C-alpha cells in the first residue's frame, strides 16, 4: 500500500487527550493534532480543496500560477498541491511572520514577497493588495483568496468535522478553535451542529482583532485594530468564511498567554505545536474552568507545528526580550 503523491496523506489526524495542562478541569479535553498533515498544518485540507474546486470551475489551467496572501501555513498547503499538479506559486506575507515560514515556502519552490504589517488591508502595500495586483497582471494565475473562498469552510465540513465526530463516537460537546480566516472553525462547527445542535463552538480571538466585539455588538470597530504578535489568528477584516452564527462565543487571548501555553504544550504534553495552538488551548481551558462538566468532551484544534516558530516563541532570548520568560 503506497500513496501516489504526498497530498494523499492529508487528513485523518489523531485526537490526543491533554493530561497535564488540564489539571483541575472537569470533563475531557482532546486535541486534534493537525501537524500530522504533510504540510504540518490544518490548512493543507482547504488549500488542496481550493485548487481542486478551481480546476473544476476552469479558474486555473495547466502550467498556471497560484498567487495567495498567507501567514505561512496556507502557502505550504498550496505549494504541496502545486507540486502535485504542476503549478507555480507566488506568496505574499506580512513582515511579522517568522523567517522560518518564508524559508519553508522557498524550500518547496515558492516565490515569497514580504509586505509591511502595519498598513490598512486596502493599502496598495498590504499583502492582500499585492496578491490581488499580481493576480491581475500575471496570465493564467489564480488567487484562491482563502478569506472569502468558501471551499475553505467546505474542506473542514467534509473532513475535519466528520473525523472529530467519529473519533469521539459522537460524544463531543464542545469545540474550541482559533479564528483567522474562519474556515476551520465554521466548517467543523457546521458539521458537528448538524449531528447535534447542542455542540458549543468557542472561537479564540486575539487582542488587536475585530472578531469578538463584532460577534457581541455587530459593530466593526476600527479602534479595536492594532498590531499584535500572535501569528495565524485574528483579523482586521471580516472574511466571508467567518459565519458568526456558527460560533457561539469568542474569547480573546493575549500574545504572552498564548506563547507561554504553547511552550507548556511542548514540555508537558509532548506536543511541539505553533503559537496559535497556545491561544486555542489557553482560551479553551479558561472557558472550561467555568463551564465544562464531568461528562463533557471538549475538542480543541491545534492547527500547526512548532518548527514555524523556532526563532520566536521557542527562542529563549526572543522570549526574554518580550518579557515573557
Examine residue 153 and state whether it is found in any structural domain, yes or no. no
Q: Enumerate residue ranges in the chain where pLDDT < 70.
A: none
- My answer on whether 210 and 101 are in the same domain is no
DSSP secondary structure letters along 291-308: H--TT-EEEEEE-BBGGG
pLDDT at 118: 87
- My answer on whether 175 and 297 are in the same domain is yes
Examine residue 208 and state whether it is found in any structural domain, yes or no. yes
- My answer on whether 26 and 48 are in the same domain is no
Examine residue 150 and state whether it is found in any structural domain, yes or no. no
**What Rg, from alpha-carbon coordinates, does the chain have?**
19
Examine residue 93 and state whether it is found in any structural domain, yes or no. yes
The one catalytic residue among 43, 49, 193, 215 = 43
Q: How, if at all, do strands 65-69 and 88-94 pair?
A: parallel
Examine residue 152 and state whether it is found in any structural domain, yes or no. no
Alpha-carbon span 317 to 87, nearest angstrom: 39
Question: Structure pTM?
Answer: 0.96
Active-site residue, 229 included:
no
Examine residue 84 and state whether it is found in any structural domain, yes or no. yes
Q: What is the pLDDT of residues 35-78, one digit of tens each?
A: 999 999 999 999 999 999 999 999 999 999 999 999 899 999 99
- My answer on whether 101 and 189 are in the same domain is no
pLDDT at 117: 87
Examine residue 65 and state whether it is found in any structural domain, yes or no. yes
- My answer on whether 24 and 72 are in the same domain is no
Alpha-carbon span 310 to 319, nearest angstrom: 11
Q: What is the pLDDT of residues 111-149, one digit of tens each?
A: 999 999 889 889 999 999 999 999 999 999 999 999 999
Examine residue 176 and state whether it is found in any structural domain, yes or no. yes
- My answer on whether 62 and 104 are in the same domain is yes
> CATH number for the domain including 253?
3.40.50.1100
pLDDT at 99: 87
pLDDT at 179: 98
pLDDT at 281: 98
Tell the residue number behind the cell numbers 469521539, with chain if given. Answer: 168
**Whole domain around residue 57: which residue ranges?**
43-142
Amino acid at each position: 500500500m503506497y500513496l501516489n503523491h504526498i497530498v494523499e496523506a492529508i487528513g485523518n489526524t489523531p485526537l490526543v487527550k491533554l493530561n497535564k495542562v488540564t489539571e483541575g478541569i472537569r470533563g475531557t479535553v482532546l486535541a486534534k493534532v493537525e501537524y500530522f498533515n504533510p504540510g504540518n498544518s490544518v490548512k493543507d485540507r482547504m488549500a488542496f480543496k481550493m485548487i481542486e474546486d478551481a480546476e473544476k470551475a476552469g479558474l486555473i489551467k495547466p502550467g498556471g500560477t497560484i498567487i495567495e496572501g498567507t501567514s505561512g501555513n496556507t502557502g505550504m498547503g498550496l505549494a504541496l498541491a502545486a507540486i502535485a499538479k504542476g503549478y507555480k506559486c507566488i506568496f505574499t506575507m506580512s513582515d511579522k511572520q517568522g523567517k522560518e515560514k518564508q524559508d519553508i515556502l522557498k524550500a518547496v519552490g515558492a516565490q515569497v514577497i514580504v509586505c509591511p504589517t502595519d498598513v490598512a488591508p486596502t493599502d496598495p502595500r498590504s499583502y492582500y493588495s499585492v496578491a490581488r495586483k499580481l493576480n491581475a497582471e500575471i496570465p493564467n494565475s489564480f488567487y484562491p483568496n482563502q478569506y472569502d473562498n468558501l471551499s475553505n469552510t467546505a474542506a473542514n465540513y467534509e473532513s475535519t468535522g466528520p473525523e472529530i465526530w467519529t473519533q469521539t463516537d459522537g460524544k463531543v460537546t464542545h469545540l474550541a478553535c482559533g479564528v483567522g480566516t474562519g474556515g476551520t472553525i465554521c466548517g467543523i462547527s457546521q458539521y458537528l451542529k448538524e449531528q447535534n445542535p447542542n455542540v458549543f463552538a468557542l472561537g479564540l480571538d486575539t487582542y488587536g482583532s475585530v472578531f469578538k466585539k463584532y460577534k457581541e455588538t455587530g459593530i466593526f470597530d476600527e479602534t479595536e485594530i492594532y498590531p499584535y504578535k500572535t501569528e495565524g489568528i485574528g483579523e482586521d477584516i471580516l472574511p466571508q468564511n467567518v459565519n458568526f452564527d456558527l460560533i457561539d462565543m469568542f474569547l480573546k487571548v493575549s500574545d504572552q498567554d498564548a506563547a507561554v501555553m504553547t511552550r507548556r504544550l511542548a514540555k508537558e504534553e509532548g506536543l511541539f505545536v505553533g503559537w496559535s495552538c497556545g491561544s486555542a488551548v489557553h482560551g479553551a481551558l479558561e472557558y472550561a474552568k467555568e463551564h465544562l462538566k464531568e461528562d463533557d468532551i471538549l475538542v480543541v484544534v491545534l492547527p500547526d507545528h512548532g518548527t514555524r516558530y523556532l526563532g520566536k516563541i521557542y527562542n529563549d532570548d526572543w522570549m526574554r526580550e518580550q518579557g515573557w520568560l
